[in-house]
Amino acid sequence: MPDNEKQTENIIPNQSKVHGSSSLDKSSGSSGPSTPHHDAEHSRNEVNPLLKKEPLLTYGELVILGYNGSLPQGEKGRRRSKFVLCKRPVSNGVKKSQHYVVKTPQSSKAILDSTQHSISYTLSRNQAVIVEYMPDDETDMFQIGRSSESPIDFVVMDTVPGDKNGEGKVTQSTISRFACRILIHRNPNYTARVYAAGFDSSRNIFLGEKATKWQQNGEIDGLTTNGILIMHPRNSFCGGMSEPGIWREVSVGGGVYALRESRSAPQKGLKVNMKFCI
């Protein structure tokens, strides 16, 4: 017998076909007509458990107040009046890994690498601090801003008071293109934290020379131009019994501070103990 025949004599050709056709029953070694029940059971056994869809865990919702549940121009894609935060199939959160000083941030490796999350704090024309971030398997990240680029999950646009048709134009926006990011722990208690500024399409965040920033205990942090303000209502938010809380400002590094004297003030407010903000 030729060598090529010896190599192929023990290969069983695939004879399985659609319902009612001849198929090979590997368990009994005999062939015969298949049945719908047999094929259905075989299909269930062949399903990859990793592909089974489970109900998505809902972390919570983000709601734009003042629209009564719908935008004037309708809900479109990532631009809507309510955004549901669900647990992602695969984590996409990040956490700090290292930081260092560079003379030319625009040409630094971290900035040029589109797969590397980083934040650049410009101190002067010839000096900047680069903070690199690494993947965090324990958190999911969601980003909010005015930009329609893909890194933004929830697109929020400016509105003109009294404009019910959405036709009013804003000459100077108070919402940053990459305004903020929310990181939520994927496991109980599902703690959510908000940070000023969001990563752009190159996974970078830039704070210019004029931005409010500071260094303390070997760490650097800063505030964005438009700022991210938070306020926790007192009492239950639902039911009409809540009262306004105190407005605070969140930094790029996630710190909570008292409001600045004005939105353009170069000095940050006093740092607030987190437990008093909840």
For the stretch 15-39, pLDDT in tens is 333 333 333 333 334 344 444 444 5
Measuring CA to CA, which residue among 199, 112, 218, 147 is closest to residue 207? 199
What sign does the dihedral 257-214-142-99 (CA atoms) show?
negative
User: What tens digit of pLDDT does each residue of 160-216 get?
Assistant: 666 656 566 666 788 899 999 999 999 999 999 999 999 999 999 999 999 999 999
Range of the domain at 239: 58-160+171-257
Q: When comparing pLDDT for 80 and 252, which is higher? A: 252
Maximum average pLDDT range among 63-67, 182-186, 233-237? 182-186
Instruction: Note whether residue 123 is domain-resident.
Output: yes
- Whether the CB-CB separation of 22 and 33 falls below 8 Å is answered with yes
Residue 223's identity, in one-letter code, is L
Instruction: Note whether residue 53 is domain-resident.
Output: no
Q: How many CB atoms lie within 10 A of CB 96?
A: 14
Buried b / exposed e across 162-201, counting CB within 10 Å, b at 16+? eeeeeeeeeeeeebbebbbbbbbbbeeeeeeeebbbbbbe
- Whether the CB-CB separation of 145 and 152 falls below 8 Å is answered with yes
d(CA 232, CA 162): 26
Instruction: Note whether residue 51 is domain-resident.
Output: no
What is the average pLDDT score of the chain? 79
- Whether the CB-CB separation of 225 and 211 falls below 8 Å is answered with yes
Instruction: Note whether residue 44 is domain-resident.
Output: no
Instruction: Note whether residue 32 is domain-resident.
Output: no
Residue 169: the pLDDT is 67
d(CA 173, CA 171): 7
Long-range pairs of 231-234 with CB within 8 A, sequence gap ≥ 24: 232/277, 232/278
Instruction: Note whether residue 23 is domain-resident.
Output: no
User: What tens digit of pLDDT does each residue of 133-164 get?
Assistant: 999 999 999 999 999 999 999 998 877 666 65
Residue 128: the pLDDT is 94
Instruction: Note whether residue 15 is domain-resident.
Output: no
For residue 157, give both structure tokens: 């646009």
- Whether the CB-CB separation of 253 and 195 falls below 8 Å is answered with yes
**Is beta strand 213-216 parallel, antiparallel or unpaired with respect to 204-207?**
unpaired
Give pTM, 2 decimals. Answer: 0.74
Instruction: Note whether residue 100 is domain-resident.
Output: yes
For residue 18, give both structure tokens: 């659609």
- Whether the CB-CB separation of 250 and 274 falls below 8 Å is answered with no
- Count: domains in the chain: 1
Residue 163: the pLDDT is 60
Rounded (to 5) percent helix, strand, coil in the chain: 10, 35, 55
